[in-house]
Amino acid sequence: MEITIISRYTAKPSSSSLQHLKPHKLSLFDQLTPATYVPLVFFYPSSSLTTNLSQTLIHLKTSLCETLTLYYPFSGRTKNNLYIYDFDAGVPYLEARVNCRLPEFHKLQETQLLNDLLPFLPFQKETDHSDLLPLLACQINVFACGGLAISVSMSHKIFDGDTGNAFLKTWASIFRGARDDIIHPNLSQASLFFPPRDPLPQNYLDLMDSLWFKGSNYVSKRFVFDAKSIATLRARSTSENVPKPTRVEILTSFIWKHAMAASRALSSGPSPKTSIVVQAVNMRPRMNSQMRSDTVMIGNLFWWAVAAADASEADAHDLRDLVNLIKESIKGFDSEYLESLQGEDGGFGTISEFCNQIEAMLSSETPDIYAFTSWVGFFKQVDFGWGRPFSIGAMGKVGPAFRNLTVFVERQWDRGIEAWVNLEENQMALLEKDPQFLAFASPSPGISSM
């Protein structure tokens, strides 16, 4: 497969009056989140496209510029990890030709090929001149059959799942002329509730860096859990404590259980490592009524729920037990805890306590850490007028320094869920041979119905 870049452009807000606006303040959670690029690729088959291709490409560009007028911080650059300014700096926008048909691309079943469709490599450790890095980049890929892959690289410095979902749905709504579906962003509320810290202690930034990035050989694979498999696992996960586990809680526990087993099998020490799950928890729906907004609060409004288990007892860990551990860790994100995160002093005190606890834990041992984030409920409605995307790509080959991360993405045409799993190579090799895991997880199934 060959991809040829045929056009490079810098997309900027269509309004020329934005330079008079004040810089956009980052929130404390933005400050603590690294400027690594989150990838997303939306695939649209040629059969769904209803307009002339050249007109489509032009309109994608102009509608992006109009969207950036509403979401103007995404066109700027960060400064000193405190704010975003220079809203005229712009968004790299590329157009590319792919010398194969879209169905042929999907049959290749190699997740690392997604990297070629992206403007920036996914989940790299971006350390050099981070203030100069774009916060967003787009690449429009045209396949030989006329199908499209619309790809974005979103900097985690300002984008979380809800933020990306609002922006992309608005771009799609403006493109198709559905003005009533535009999602207007709330650009100020996050930094009002969770103000930035100046200066932010360097040891906290170093801690976050060590939690996000660890040098190793990583492999990214896509596993599909169909509705029947999820229903069977639900029956094994239900308990008196958790009578109605969510699909994400079930699959998080299932993958964690088998990752622990792989780690234990590879362990050569006298006692296996502690195994830790960190889950990204969206704080917006958990806020009290005074904190909620009719518009979408922009920025990183998530934090980590932490659960721990003894990897030496991986076989003994019942799925119900792990689901209960995960449920309990998420329960801590109640309105009282979220209120403790607010304000310049109180909020920073709560975050300091969290960071100090993690630092103390890491100083005494080197645990296995598995991160999970769910995009279930996000991105299904990115409809440019051609219907939902046929499929969504969530992760190519990540950089050499990252972490064990699983991203859950809802299937577009059924109740199944895709787990895009990034795992250290030796653990992935065992996971792919684990018959109890493969009884429910289908590795990289081909897409043949296009």
Active site residues: 156, 383
Contact at 8 Å (CB) between 223 and 421?
A: yes
Give SS3 for 327. helix
CB atoms within 10 A of CB 20: 7
Give SS3 for 118. coil
Which residues in 329-434 belong to E strands, given as ranges?
368-374, 391-393, 401-402, 404-410, 417-424
With 0-12 / 13-18 / 19 or more C-beta atoms within 10 angstroms meaning exposed / middle / buried, residue 150 is buried
Length of the chain: 450
Give SS3 for 108. coil
Contact at 8 Å (CB) between 366 and 358?
A: no
> Does residue 34 have a cis bond before it (omega within 30 degrees)?
no
Give SS3 for 247. helix
Whole-angstrom distance, CA of residue 211 vs CA of residue 200? 17
Whole-angstrom distance, CA of residue 418 vs CA of residue 321? 23
